[in-house]
Each structure stands twice: as C-alpha cells, then as structure tokens.
Structure 1
C-alpha cells in the first residue's frame, strides 16, 4: 500500500461498494416496466428481478462478514467487486427472464460480500471516535445519494435512444464504476494478514438459509401466476422444514463452541426488545419496496406516465427522505420512539393521499410531488433509527452479529413484501386490465400496506419509552 494515500480516498474506494449495491435496488424499481417489455416477461418475472437480488443480498450478508474474517477483507472486497461488474454485464445482455433473474440473484450475492468489508475497513482506518462518526456519516450519505440517483437514472436511461435497448443501460452503467474501483482497491487498500482460520466456515448454514428463503419466496411470487401448482405448495412446505433445520443446526453449532461458529447467533431471540424490533422490521420493510413496485406499475403502465417523469417524482420522495432523516437523527435522542411513531403516522396518512390523488385517468400531477415528498419524509423519520430499536438492549459481544441479523431480516422482509403485496396487486388486475382495474388493484395493495404500517406503530407501542439511541442507516 502507498502510505501517502489519504484514508479519505480509501473511504471513497470503500464507499463505491455501498453506492453500487444501493443504486442497483432503486434504479431497477423505476425501470421495471421497461425491463418487462425488454425481456418479454410476466408480472412475476419483474417481481423476481427485484426479489432475487434482495434474496441473494439477504442470505449472504452475514456470510460476507464471515468471509472477510476467514479469507481476508481486501481479497474478498476485490473479488466481490469484480464479480459484481461481470454479473452486471450478464444482466445487461440477458436475453430471457430466466437469464436475468439468475444473474440478479448472484449480483445480490456479490453485493453482500462487498458491504461488510467496507464497514470493517472504516472501523480500522478511522480510530478516533470523531473521525469514525464523520466517516460513517459520509458512508451513509453515499448510500442515500445512491437511492436518489438510482431513482432518477431508472427513469431516464430506459428512454435513451442508443444501439442498445435503454433498460440494459441500468445494469451496464455499473461497469465503468466497478472497473475503475477494482485496480484502485488492489493498489491502495491495506492488506489484511490477520485472517481467522481457526474457526470453521459455516457452509452448511449458508446452504440451509439460502434454500429456506428461496423455497419460501419463489413460490409466493410464481404461484399466483401459475394457479398454485403442487410444486409451489411443496416448496413452501419444504421452506418451512429447511428453516427449522437451519435453526436447529445453528443451535447445535453454538453449543459446541468456537470451533463451529454459527452463521446466526440464536441467543439474540432471547431478548424481548430484539424480537419486537424484528417484528417492526418485518412489517415496515414489507412496505418499503412493494410501495415502489405498485406505484411504478400504476403510473407507467396504468396511467401512461413516462419513465423519466416517474423517476423525477421519486426523486422528490428521496429528497423528502434525506431531509427528514437528518432532522430525525437529532430529534430521536430527545423524544425517543415518538419520532418514529410520528413518521409511521405520516406514511399512513400520505398513502391515503396517494389513493385520493391517483383516483382516475386524469391525475393532478402537481399534487403528486408534495405527496411523495411527505411520504419520503415519513420514511426518513423512521428508517435511520430502526436499527437502534432492535439493538439497544443487546450485549456488546452480540452487537456485531445482531447488526448482521438485522440487515438479513431487512432484505428478506423486502423480498417478502414484493411477493405478498405485489401478488395482491397483480391478482386484482385481471387478465386484460384497463385504467380502472389498475386503480382498483392499487387501492387494495395500498390499503394492505397501510395495515402493515399500523402494525409497525402497534409494535412500537410495546417498546419502552426510555433508551432510544442514535443510529446510522446505510439503506433507504
């Protein structure tokens, strides 16, 4: 490593991983109608484009942290970034829905391998508390910026007239960024010679968790479209069995000591507040990306909005999120969970306003901008402190694995929301939907999201008033 390289430049290299991983969530959200047309896909195909990325990310996020300890953080970061670039190219040149969805799963896996290495590097490079807080703030700001940029580019790129179909550019845009970062990471990131090779890597845990989540999420998305064939029911049953086997496997490895370190520390679920926090995460994140899915399909396919106009609308939502998140992080230490409850209430009210504004083919477009801004503000009041809700009473020695479990649960909940809420929306469309059918399906799905947010508020009431602490979030 060149010792003259500033650690702030190293932070820029590290932050590229969270930028790309978050960008690829939000850039796809706005472009899904164009992707559906481009690959001649079905409704469930576009659900899987979102869900399989999140499943790959969720199931391998804890694994990514373990892999950095076991194989070396620099090696894992560089290999994962290179894989992300290669798989992005595969996504961009995919010819069928099967090719695209398989690539999206592995794109999520490569993102999950990158992210933990970057966070660990920040802890090592920035030793002073003040510098570390500043670095983590920059890292989180990069993620927030990626979500807004992704929404804008997801609307803009599909409309670009080039020798390639515009939707392919939303994946190929990763190539110049990744190819610039890989050699810089090889040259400048400090080597990691302190690999932890005395503890066995939990390959069985990874396979069991991956199998369980795929068996649960995939049939939820495909089953509706195929009229619930027997194999979908069998997969759901198998998913439950494999999940139970995973929990048993993790308990056994925990009881045998450090030589068989489990992927998930099941002791976490012995803490009441952690369980309540996971319930909040489940219901909140089921709403998060399903909101984008049903709104984008309604606006672009049902009401005829252009993808660029939709992208700009969601930029307003992203700006509302960023503004409110900055304010909420100052208010939470003073007012505790009341700030989060206020954010949830704002989200419910603004979803009702969505239904009122999106009530027919002639939509008042000017009203949509403040409505989406307010919805984003509600999200920004809740999301940055959700991690604190689940972890505030967790012992220090379990904080690392608790954070990884939180992130895994978060991404799994988003994929589940795409399957469940997306399924409700598409099942209410009918075979040949018109504008009225789109609006009716949207109302049913949005009322369901409002009910899920009401459950979030209910579970927040079960948390103690005192003890809320500030937390940073790197996802929007």
Structure 2
C-alpha cells in the first residue's frame, strides 16, 4: 500500500477510535440527567438510582485489565469490533428496560463490553501512532474527548430526555455503534502482542472480585462506615487485591505486569487518574442533582448548565498541548489539581435559592481549567515508555484507574451526602436546604481529593522534561491481517 493511501487511512482510524472513546466516556454520564425521569417511570429506589451509574463504571473498571489482555492476545481489532457490537446490544436492552433490575443489569452489560472495547481502542491508538508529533496530536484528540465527553453526555442526555424520552439516552448508542463498526472494519488494522500468550485466569478472578468487593464496600458506607458489612467487604477487597499482586509477581504471563505500575511516574499517573475519575463522575452527578432537584431546571437546561466546563476544556486543551513540550508534565500536574480544587471549593458555596451565574459558573470555569491540565498530560504520561507487549495492559490500567476511581467516588460521595443531609434534616432544616448542605459537603470532599492529587504529583512525577516526554518512543510492531 502506498504512503499516500496509508496516511489518510491512519487519520480515519483516529476518527473511528475517537468516536468510540466518546461513546465510552459519555455513557458514564449521559443517563445522569435522565435519572429523575427514569426513577419516576420505573419506580426506582434511591439505591437503584445510584446503581444505574455505579453498575456501569464498576463492571467497566473491574474487567478492564482482563479486557486489555484479551485484546492483546486475541487481536485488538477483533476485540474492538466484538466489544462495540456487544455494547450496542446492551444499550438497546437498557433503553427497553421495564424495571430497575433490568436497567441495572443492562448497564452492567454495557460496562462488560466497554471493558473489552476501551483498552482495544487505546492500544490501537498507541500502535497506530507510535511516536513523534502525530502521536501528540492523536493523544490530544483523545484528551479533548476524554475531557469533554462526560459533559457532552450531560448535555446530550438533557436534549434527549427533554424532547424524546430518557430511554433514548441509551438507544442513541446504537447509532454510534453502527457508525463505529463500519469504520472499524474499513480503517482499523489488526495488531496483537508477540510471542506465546496465555490468559492469567487466577489474576483475572482475584482482581475482578477484589475491585468489586472494594467498591461494593464503599457503597455500603451510606449505612455507616463502622458497619460489619462495610468493613467486611472493604477488608475482603483489600485482601483479594493483595493476593492479586502476589499472583502477578509469580506467574509467567501476568494479567498486569507489575513493571507497568511499579514505574514511579506511571504509578503516580494511575493514582492521579483515579482521583480525576472520582471527581469527574462523582461530583458531576451531584451538581446535576442540584440543578434539577434544588434549582428546578428542566433536563435540557440542566445539561446546558454544564456546558461552561466543556467549552473551557475545548478551548484550553489545544493550548496546553502546545505548551506541554515547553514546560513539561510536572508543573501542569501539580497546578492542575489545585486549580480544580479551587473550583470545587467555590461550588461548595451553593445555596437553595442561589444564582447559577454567581454561585456555579465561576466554579465550573476553574474546574474546567484544572481538568484540562490533567487530561492529555496524564494519558500520555501513563503510556510513555510502555513496551509493545504491554500496550493493552497499560491502556486498560489507564481506563481502569479512571472508572474505578469514579465508582468509588460515587459511593463515597453518596455516603458523605447522605450523612450530611440526614444531620441537616434532624436539626430542622427544610428539605431543599438539606439537599444543598449534602451537595456542598460532596464538593468540599472532592476539593480535598484534588489537593491530594497535587501532592501525588509532587511525590511521584519526577524526572527531567525529556525523560517524562521522550520525543521518539521505541517503534511498535504492528501485525497486519
């Protein structure tokens, strides 16, 4: 194939992968706007309402490592297409759900197939754009979509809920899947890890059950951090994850080679990604509730109310992409969380009768700037220096950190919200004011988490600019066919 044909096809493959990234990211939030309507129609309990969000991000995050390794061994294009097709079917099932159980199960199935789809897409991106300026451009596109996808989901969810039905927040994925499936067949090239490949079954079992137990334990914290069930599931999760590390250190072909996370810089990037996920998924959920439940916004207005953060991210990320080679990742990763924390702290000042433009908008602008500093930098840094054989596992870890952070964030923030709201009601505070007190507490907790992310950057993200962002990565072998 001539270079003239190969180059356009490479950018068309980026378009296909970017579309997939958009679907995966926005699906964590697109149903958020629709939750009040879905809860009313299906008679969901508050716990079921939380699990409509948690089921997706939990299953997604817990199975990402396994999905990444399957993509490496089975073939990344093949895994991409199967994951995309399954995701579309699960979305259709969710859109047609007749009760809360069916909806939660469908969301879990979406997470399962997304766990195969997402690492395959990111690994395909990594091997298609192996080095140089084109790689930076490709990751910038992924960063913009990753940064704006959650907010786009909120806006799209508002439009669909307002003018059609909450069900179309799930059914719309079928359209994206059809386009992505056709594009994937036409423009993606198959690649897989070299050498003998064998799945690490015991590693897959322990990490999946460990992460699941950990997140479920956090979800039980609403009933009390000291309850036997909460402590039991958290302890079980921690123990299984320790066992997972032991297994990975001893098997010949581990699900997650410890060398991927043992690197100080990459390990720090993964930790920061988890914090970003907790804030992006958890805090955004409660801001949406404030818009609809306290301020009385219609779904469309509630979605549009988030657009400020999206616009800021879209404007700032391209500028920061050009700035990154000049200043290096470390300053951005230290300052970004602090700017985001300032925005969240500002949002904690919301009141039941407050004005969006004075109480919310400045906080969203600051949060958008802070997140912009993190998205492209973290994703690129987390994959820098990864051997071709480990591309799928590293890509999966990037996504898993974000999703598991998000699922833990939803659970922890829910516990914080419920505790503060209950205490406010017990002191005679009216209901809307009690809701607002709970939301404010969530934003304060999220701000503290972002400050912790900045501390992680100070401790872990060390090295010269050239070490952290090498200009020429080792070429990645691509197997065609």
- Check whether TM > 0.5: yes
Q: Is 1:411 the equivalent of 2:403?
A: yes
- Residue in structure 1 matching 2:117, options 114, 117, 128: 114
TM-fit CA distance, 1:425: 0.8
- The Cα shift of 1:314 comes to 0.9
Structure 2 residue corresponding to 1:159, chosen from 141, 154, 162:
162
Change (3 A) 1:375 1:458: same
1:343 maps to which residue? Answer: 336
* Superposed CA offset, 1:51-102 (max 9, x none): 2212222223232232223222332222111100100011111222222222
| SS of residue paired to 2:28 | helix
Taking a change above 3 Å as real, the CA distance of residues 174 and 70 of structure 1, as seen in their structure-2 partners, is: same
**Counterparts in 2 of 1:198 and 1:389: CA distance versus 1, 3 Å:** closer
Q: Distance in 2 between matches of 1:429 and 1:323?
A: 36
Distance 1:424 1:59, change over 3 A: same
TM-score normalised by L of structure 1? 0.84
- 8 Å CA contact 1:251–1:266 kept in 2: the answer is yes
1:81 correspondence with 2:81: no
Q: Which residue of 2 aligns with 1:220?
A: 218
CA distances 1:241-266 after superposition (whole Å, capped 9, x unpaired) = 3222222221221xxx3xxx111122
Picking from 421, 429, 442, the partner of 1:429 is: 421
Structure 1 residues 227 and 201 mapped into 2: Cα distance closer, same or farther (>3 Å)?
Answer: closer
Q: Distance in 1 between matches of 2:184 and 2:242?
A: 40
User: Alpha carbons of 1:203 and 1:359: their partners in 2 closer, same or farther (altered >3 Å)?
Assistant: same
Could you tell me whether the CA contact under 8 Å between 2:150 and 2:280 is conserved in 1? no
Extract unaligned runs of 5+ from structure 2.
Answer: 471-481
SS at match of 1:457: helix
Q: Distance in 1 between matches of 2:95 and 2:450?
A: 35
Note the C-alpha offset of 1:201: 1.3
1:27 aligns with 2:24: no
The alpha carbon displacement at 1:287 in A equals 2.2
1:174 alignment counterpart: 173
Pick which of 18-27 and 328-337 moved more: 328-337
User: Following the alignment from structure 1 to structure 2, what is the Cα–Cα distance between the partners of residues 389 and 9?
Assistant: 24
* Residues 385-430 of structure 1 deviation map (CA, whole Å, 9 limit, x = unaligned): 22456566x6757873444333322221111111111221123223
Task: Check if 1:56 corresponds to 2:59.
Answer: yes
Give the TM-score normalised by the residue count of structure 2.
0.84
- Secondary structure at the counterpart of residue 297 of structure 2: coil
Would the aligned equivalents of 1:48 and 1:221 in 2 still touch at CA under 8 Å? no
1:235–1:122 Cα change, 3 Å: closer
SS in 2 for 1:429: helix
Displacement, 1:17?
Answer: 1.7
CA contact (8 A) 1:156 1:311 kept: yes
Q: CA deviation at 1:24?
A: 0.6
User: How large is the RMSD of aligned CA atoms in angstroms?
Assistant: 3.3
Deviation at 1:38, TM superposition (A): 3.3
User: Which whole-Å CA distance do the structure 2 matches of 1:292 and 1:420 have between them?
Assistant: 14
Partner in structure 1 of residue 448 of structure 2: 451
Question: Which residue does the alignment assign to 2:206?
Answer: 208
Ranges in structure 1 where 5+ consecutive residues have no aligned partner: 472-476
Q: Distance in 2 between matches of 1:345 and 1:189?
A: 39
Q: Distance between the aligned counterparts of 1:28 and 1:328, measured in 2? A: 30
Give the whole-Å Cα distance in 2 for the aligned partners of 1:77 and 1:391: 19
CA distance in 2 between partners of 1:191 and 1:383 (Å): 27
Aligned in 2, Cα 1:351/1:186: closer, same or farther, shift over 3 Å? closer
| 1:307-358 residue CA offsets vs partner (Å, 9 max, x unmatched) | 21121121111111222222223334333433333322222222232233x2
Distance 1:387 1:124 in 2: 15
